[in-house]
């Protein structure tokens, strides 16, 4: 900026996503001392309000009623010509599998209860199985966005932390293992996440691919 010229930075606006919108006449560097103090105080108040709001948010599944306890639940399958319905033979085979394999029955109970809804945001989407890496047990079904954000979240408050404390599997009282499609087997429980290439099969595969000629 030339001496005596106009600052190229825009004026400050805070609170654009809330009912209370505040404007300041210049960029931060050109605010008066009083304006800077007001600007900092306003943002601290907003951050505090956001934190309180985040603390109050619970995962959607906490509000879902459990109509039938797992012990009393019996699977049922729609038989018919529609693509999403079973043939009589496939329904019979699946029913036998549910009766002989407790994990299959537990997974079908959870899938039916969630009814295509993400356990955190309740958005109807293509869901993925989220599991606890320590136990290798499925916790619930999440949309891909929530599954990614939950994995990155390390907070002790908010919907992701609450989901880890009380997830669909714990709400329903069911237990079943997570099938790792990458490994083609059930995931193994881990006391800690693998850190080295020697411990992590995905990193080993990636390293092998880099060495292969193209």
Predicted confidence (pLDDT) per residue in 58-106, tens digit = 999 999 999 999 999 888 777 777 777 778 888 788 888 888 889 999 9
pLDDT, residue 16, reads 38
Q: Which two tokens stand for residue 17?
A: 């996503």
Q: For 126, left (φ over 0), alpha (ψ -120 to 50), or beta?
A: beta
Ranges of the chain whose pLDDT falls below 70: 1-26, 28, 43, 46-47, 50, 191-214
What does pTM read for this prediction? 0.65
Radius of gyration of the chain (CA): 26
pLDDT, residue 25, reads 67
pLDDT, residue 197, reads 47
pLDDT, residue 35, reads 82
pLDDT, residue 47, reads 64
Q: Which two tokens stand for residue 58?
A: 């619970």
DSSP conformational letter for 12 = P
Q: For residue 209, what are the contacts with CB-CB under 8 A and spacing of at least 6? A: none
What does the alpha-carbon distance between residue 201 and residue 206 come to, in Å, rounded to a whole number? 9
pLDDT, residue 78, reads 76
User: CA-based angle 129:210:204, to the nearest 5?
Assistant: 50
Q: For residue 46, what are the contacts with CB-CB under 8 A and spacing of at least 6? A: 14, 15, 18
């Amino acid at each position: 900026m030339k001496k005596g010229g106009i600052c190229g930075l825009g004026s400050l606006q805070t609170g654009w996503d809330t009912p209370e919108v505040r404007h300041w006449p210049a960029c931060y560097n050109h605010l008066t001392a009083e304006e800077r103090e007001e600007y900092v105080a306003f943002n601290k108040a907003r951050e505090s309000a956001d934190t309180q709001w985040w603390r109050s948010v619970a995962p959607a599944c906490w509000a879902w009623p459990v109509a039938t306890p797992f012990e009393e639940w019996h699977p049922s399958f729609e038989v018919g010509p529609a693509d999403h319905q079973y043939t009589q033979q496939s329904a019979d085979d699946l029913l036998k599998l549910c009766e002989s394999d407790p994990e299959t029955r537990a997974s079908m109970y959870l899938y039916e209860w969630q009814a295509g809804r993400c356990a955190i945001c309740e958005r109807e989407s293509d869901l993925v199985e989220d599991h606890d890496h320590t136990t290798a047990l499925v916790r619930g079904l999440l949309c891909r966005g929530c599954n990614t954000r939950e994995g990155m979240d390390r907070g002790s408050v908010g919907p992701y932390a609450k989901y880890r404390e009380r997830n669909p599997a714990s709400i329903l009282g069911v237990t079943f293992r997570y099938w790792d499609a990458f490994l083609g087997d059930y995931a193994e429980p881990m006391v800690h996440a693998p850190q080295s290439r020697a411990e992590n099969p995905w990193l080993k595969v990636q390293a092998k691919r880099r060495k292969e000629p193209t």
